[in-house]
Structure 1
Amino acid sequence: MTTLSVDRHDLALLAELQRDGRATNSAIGEKIHMSTSQVSRRIQRLEEARVIDHYAAMLDPLVVGLGVMAFIHVTLDRHGSSSADTFEQAISDLPEVLECFSVTGEADYVVRVVSHDLASFSEFMMHHLLRIPGVTNVKSNISLKKVKQVTELPLDHIAQPRQPKMRVHFSQ
């Protein structure tokens, strides 16, 4: 893995892009006090280093008719790479699945799913998820309301300069 050095200008640029991925390089430059060409070069470097993974439009699920969001805890019958590979490939092919995480704890995976309504969610569970080889147990939680959802990653931990240790001398 290569190391990428980022400075305060990179962090300001990343923060602006997270707030508005459609902002022009000129508009970003005005906000962070850099020229358009500097912004462009920095963005290209950050994209090449995969710090910037991709750009996307965020759609409102309710507006596009996806009123049910569920979090499903999935347990597999066996722990091993072949069971995991089979599950992960199958889950990757399901458009209702927005996210899938391999986790520790009682379940092997947590899956975030959207569907039109409870009937379509039931259809998804019965005819897709439960038919994946190796799935032995599922527990689902239906979201009642969105309390917080952000797409901006916190970057403060990168910007914190390391403070030198203070030495305290007592005089007598």
Structure 2
Amino acid sequence: MPVTPEPLDSTDRRILRLLIEDGDLSNNELAARAGLTAAPLSRRLARLVAAGALRRTVIVDPKVVGLGLQVFLEVTLERTAPQVGDRFVERVLRMPEVLECHAVAGEFDFLLKISVRDVADYKRLLWSEFESIPEIKTLRSMVLLDTPKFQTSAVP
């Protein structure tokens, strides 16, 4: 029988909000701001990680590492049958340039966030990878000009 995770209480949510605001807080600073001592904070953090509510990750600035072009790509498939979508997702998962893949409802089927060196690199990706996927009906690109707000999470 699957284990149901414990619901988040107000302290858990406060911890998550504090980490969203400043992920560089030391455990002592985080404990103080959350109104806890170090031991209870450590137990809560371990529980939040185990429950999947908190994921540890590294965010790399793409421009600093030579990936100067970010693109959102709208993908419409020929058909929306589950096996068609699954095959598309399998292909996309093997593309390191695709940072995010979202199945969406609306005028298109998937929204991808892509990070590449430049326009020539994006053209290579489109022509060598996406053009070889027969299930694709249309592609529509939107070049990312700027990101005035960047936030990876939200907590109600």
Q: TM-score, normalised by structure 1?
A: 0.82
Alpha-carbon distance between aligned partners in 2 of 1:26 and 1:147, rounded to the nearest angstrom: 31
Offset from partner CA, 1:98-119 (integer Å, 9 cap, x none): 1111111221111110110000
Percent of residue pairs identical: 30
Q: CA deviation at 1:137?
A: 1.1
Instruction: Tell me the distance in 2 between the aligned counterparts of 1:25 and 1:81.
Output: 44
In 2, Cα distance between the equivalents of 1:76 and 1:93?
A: 18
Partner of 2:41: 39
Asked whether the equivalents of residues 5 and 51 of structure 2 are also in contact (C-alpha less than 8 Å), the reply is no
Paired AA for residue 96 in structure 2: P
- Alpha-carbon offset, residue 22 of structure 1: 4.3
How far is the alpha carbon of 1:150 from its aligned partner?
Answer: 1.2
* 1:22-101 superposed matches below 5 A: 22-52=24-54, 54-101=55-102
Listed as ranges, the gaps of 5+ residues in structure 2 are none
Q: Is the 8 A contact 1:72 1:110 kept in 2?
A: yes
CA contact (8 A) 1:19 1:152 kept: no
- For this pair of structures, how many residues does the alignment match? 154
- Partner AA of 1:25 in structure 2: N
Residue aligned with 1:70, SS: strand
TM-score normalized with structure 2 length: 0.90
CA RMSD of aligned residues (A): 1.6
Q: Secondary structure at the match of 2:48?
A: helix
Residue 55 of structure 1 aligns to a residue whose secondary structure is coil
1:12 equivalent among 11, 14, 17: 14
Q: Is the 8 A contact 1:86 1:133 kept in 2?
A: no
Instruction: Name the residue aligned to 1:135.
Output: 136
Q: Distance in 1 between the 2:80 and 2:11 partners?
A: 45
Q: Please state whether the residue corresponding to 2:140 is helix, strand or coil.
A: strand
- Aligned to 2:107, what secondary structure does the other structure show? coil
Q: Secondary structure at the match of 2:127?
A: helix
Shift of 1:21: 3.4
More displaced stretch, 79-88 vs 5-14: 5-14
Measure, in 2, the Cα distance between the counterparts of 1:22 and 1:4.
Answer: 26
Distance of 2:34 and 2:106 partners within structure 1: 43
